[in-house]
Amino acid sequence: MSVITAGTRDSGVVTWRNLMNVRRQPDLLLGATLQPIMFVLLFAFVFGNSIGDDPGAYREFLMGGIFAQTVAFNSAYTTIGMAADLEKGVIDRFRSLPMSRAAVLIGRTTSDLVVSALGLLVMSVCGLLVGWRIRGSVLDAVFGYGVLLLFSFAVSWVGAWVGMVSGSVQVAQSAGFIWMFPVTFISSAFVSASSMPGPLKAFAEWNPVTAVADAARELFGNKRAGVLGQSDAWPAQHSVLYATLSCVVLLVVFTPIAVAKYRKVASK
Amino acid sequence: MPPPASSIAVRAEALVKTFGSTRALDGVDLEIPAGTVLGLLGPNGAGKTTTVRILTTLLRPDSGRAFVAGHDVIADPDAVRRSIGLSGQYAAVDEHLTGYENLYMVGRLYGKNRTDATARARELLSRFRLQDAADRPAKTYSGGMRRRLDLAGALVAEPAVVVLDEPTTGLDPRGRLDTWEVIGELVADGATVLLTTQYLEEADQLANTILVIDHGKVIASGTADQLKGQVGGERLEIVVGEPAELAAVSRVLAEVGSDEPTTDEQHRRVQVKVDTGPKALVEALRRLDQESVAVLDVALHRPTLDDVFLSLTGHAAEDEPEVETEGKRKGRKAKSR
Ligand SMILES: Nc1ncnc2c1ncn2[C@@H]1O[C@H](COP(=O)(O)OP(=O)(O)O)[C@@H](O)[C@H]1O
Ligand SMILES: [Mg+2]
């Protein structure tokens, strides 16, 4: 059997194992779905009325941001999942089997992508309830979800690497989330980048999370969001392209270093 | 170097592995002829698990080399993995998968198709008396059931070489006997087995050859009988009723024995090493009878592997046995960083 076929089969088996684990521990799912719901409600009703003079427009703006933040947080779940995998007995079984070395990583990032997609679904329903709508074409909307899932998958590989570097679940629990906060909040996810002071503004403008949020707004036809002020930086003008490019770069950089790191930790 | 002859299933040469300042392996050599059982016997921390991890490609040695089923563990780990089944010291099962799902998963990862993986999983579940628990998550299993599930996992692909790291530690007597039976069947089917244990009777019972290891070094090897021979012959022990008679007994035993008799006044017992076994016993009793000493009890002890260990290392073999718990595993991992 070819290496690719065998690798795909092994990754599929590990993905199945991970998803069975999620199914048997519903509290894992709760974290991935409850948090975005909370964000939608908090921002829509707590901040929504105080930011800008048109709460409807802000909610519309907000959804793209919460979508982007939620998929970014997928990286933290992968970090914890990966660190937990390494502490579990079953990893010793995997290591002694003639299976593809990358399968544990591909399986982890793939199953987290599935959970992430579920989170997006729950959030979309929640958004619809607070007045958000997809106003563009169906095809654009499909692309919108495509960009979000691609970003989710890309940061998941970063998260896998962080998880292996952490060395223990305890460290992973803080290491996985700590860098998420600046990355998601210094962006146009919740406020327009153009309102930020100098260096923060530059960071926010070139932050991939900004591009993903803007791309979602654009592809879901939430252009009324523009009322909050649009940046004229290049990424803001080409958000879909820049978001996609960011994902490709993340994957090109982090896939090989994550695989190399796994080889190392797996042969300790 | 030419590849090892095909009749040698496992061969290790001068394996060295250090962890920080701990020299876990300090030049270990071993050889297992195909179809036989090698028992690696040693106390906690002797280096058994480290040897197992190197032979199963989980760990790279600092120096030395090893071949399993003709494949170099360093140069061709994948070929080694295809030829082995490992049941490690800590059960490598997924807690949230059922017993069946665990074995099915392992079968698929060995490259079996769905039908074959399912059939093999069911077969092993009934062979290991787990069929009634087959569809329950493994976290509901007792320690013994988990251990059996893990052992089953090692056998999914009917490997040529089976490596079992302390397979009976933490099992109750019934579980231990069951495991012994399975190992017997494996050998009958032609498998080569590397077995580590802290239990001397287990090595005696199961292994064709025993390697005694302590502080990362092989300190003795041979069959159980050869090892017992190294300690010298048997011990003759005489118990009398009256303390006054101990001196006479000691004098007689000094004549028939091969070293100085030792006297235990409290139990009115005298012991001596003998080379001629039953002959010495008869002779001692005849002389004591002539001197009209009333013998209460008499015994001829063959040396046990415990004696072997004590005489080789100066300390007993069975420290507190490591009982398997998830907590221990984590503590150990944390320590290793
Ligand atoms: N990963 C590790 N990091 C540090 N020390 C280790 C590690 N693994 C084993 N050791 C040490 O190496 C020695 C041999 O350990 P091990 O092979 O597990 O012994 P055994 O299996 O015979 O009980 C012990 O002193 C142990 O503490
Ligand atoms: Mg051990």
What's the Cα-to-Cα distance from A192 to each of A186, A211, B133, rounded to whole Å?
10, 12, 57
Chain A CB contacts of B91 below 8 Å: 89
Determine the pLDDT at residue A226: 55
b/e sequence A191-207, b meaning 16+ C-beta within 10 Å: bbbbebeeebbebbbbb
Nearest CB to B81; choose among A13, A90, A97: A97
pTM of the model: 0.83
pLDDT digits (tens, 9 = 90+) for B243-266: 888 888 888 888 888 888 888 888
ipTM of the complex: 0.88
Mean pLDDT along residues A180-193: 87
Mean confidence (pLDDT) of chain B: 86
Give the other-Cβ count within 10 Å of A46's Cβ: 10
Higher pLDDT, B320 or B192: B192
| Mutation target among B62, B105, B149 for the A interface, most CBs of A within 10 A | B105
Chain A CB contacts of B147 below 8 Å: none
Q: Does residue B88 line the site of ligand 1, with CB under 6 A? A: no
Q: Which two tokens stand for residue A108?
A: 């982890």
Determine the pLDDT at residue B333: 38
pLDDT digits (tens, 9 = 90+) for A59-110: 888 889 999 999 999 999 999 999 999 988 888 899 899 998 899 999 999 9
Mean confidence (pLDDT) of chain A: 88
Say which amino acid occupies A122: V
Measured from the alpha carbon of residue B44, the closest ligand is: 1
Among chain A, residues having any CB pair with chain B shorter than 8 Å are: 1, 6, 9-10, 13, 16-17, 20-21, 24-25, 87-99, 103, 167-168, 267-268
**Helix axes B143-155 and B99-109, enclosed angle (nearest 10):** 20
| CA atoms of B207 and B185, how far apart (whole Å) | 13
Residue A159 has pLDDT above 50, yes or no: yes
Determine the pLDDT at residue A39: 82
| Mutation target among A17, A92, A104, A262 for the B interface, most CBs of B within 10 A | A92
User: Could you tell me if B116 and B124 are in contact, meaning their C-beta atoms sit under 8 angstroms apart?
Assistant: no
How far A114 CA lies from chain B's nearest CA (Å)?
Answer: 19
Strands B209-214 vs B217-222: parallel, antiparallel or unpaired:
antiparallel
Residue B38 DSSP label: E
Confidence of residue A257 (pLDDT cuts 50, 70, 90): very high
| CA atoms of B268 and B238, how far apart (whole Å) | 8
Higher pLDDT, A196 or A227: A196
Determine the pLDDT at residue B318: 52
Mean pLDDT along residues A7-22: 95
| CA atoms of B262 and A17, how far apart (whole Å) | 63
Q: Whose CA is nearest to atom 7 of ligand 1?
A: B336
pLDDT over 70, % of chain B = 91
Tokens 């002020």 appear where?
A229
User: Could you tell me if A124 and A145 are in contact, meaning their C-beta atoms sit under 8 angstroms apart?
Assistant: no
| CA atoms of B239 and A85, how far apart (whole Å) | 60
Tokens 């079992």 appear where?
B164
User: What domains are there in chain B, each with its CATH number?
Assistant: 8-228 (3.40.50.300), 233-302 (3.30.70.980)
Q: With an 8 Å Cβ cutoff, are A21 and B97 in contact?
A: yes
**Domain ranges within chain A, ordered by starting residue:** 3-266
Q: Would you call B242 exposed, middle or buried from its count of C-beta atoms within 10 A (0-12, 13-18, 19+)?
A: exposed
Residue A157 has pLDDT above 80, yes or no: yes
Determine the pLDDT at residue B327: 39
- B143 reaches A (C-beta below 8 A): no
SS3 B322: coil
Does residue A42 come out as left (phi exceeding 0), alpha (psi in the -120 to 50 range) or beta?
A: alpha
Mean pLDDT along residues A232-249: 91
Determine the pLDDT at residue B109: 95
| CA atoms of B223 and B207, how far apart (whole Å) | 8
Residues 6+ apart with CB under 8 A from B17: B23, B24, B25, B47, B50, B54, B59, B61, B62, B216
Residue A56 has pLDDT above 80, yes or no: no
| Nearest atom (ligand 1) to Cα of B52 | 17
Q: How far away, in angstroms, is B330 Cα from ligand 2 center?
A: 14
Nearest CB to A90; choose among B94, B334, B336: B94
| CA atoms of A151 and A68, how far apart (whole Å) | 8
Least confident range from A123-127, B20-24, B319-323: namely: B319-323
Helices vs. strands in chain B: H and E counts, helices first: 12, 14
Higher pLDDT, B202 or A250: A250
Higher pLDDT, B230 or A172: A172
Nearest CB to A21; choose among B90, B96, B108: B96
Confidence of residue B33 (pLDDT cuts 50, 70, 90): very high
Q: Would you call B278 exposed, middle or buried from its count of C-beta atoms within 10 A (0-12, 13-18, 19+)?
A: exposed
Chain B CB contacts of A97 below 8 Å: 81, 106, 109-110
Least confident range from A43-57, B4-18, B134-148: namely: A43-57
Higher pLDDT, B49 or A30: B49
Torsion from C-alpha of A106, A111, A115, A118, nearest 10 degrees: 100
Nearest to A13 by CA among A99, A81, A89, A96: A99
Q: Of A38-42, B138-142, B252-256, B288-292, which one has max mean pLDDT?
A: B138-142
User: Could you tell me if A133 and A41 are in contact, meaning their C-beta atoms sit under 8 angstroms apart?
Assistant: no
Determine the pLDDT at residue A59: 80
Q: Whose CA is nearest to atom 18 of ligand 1?
A: B49
Confidence of residue B329 (pLDDT cuts 50, 70, 90): very low
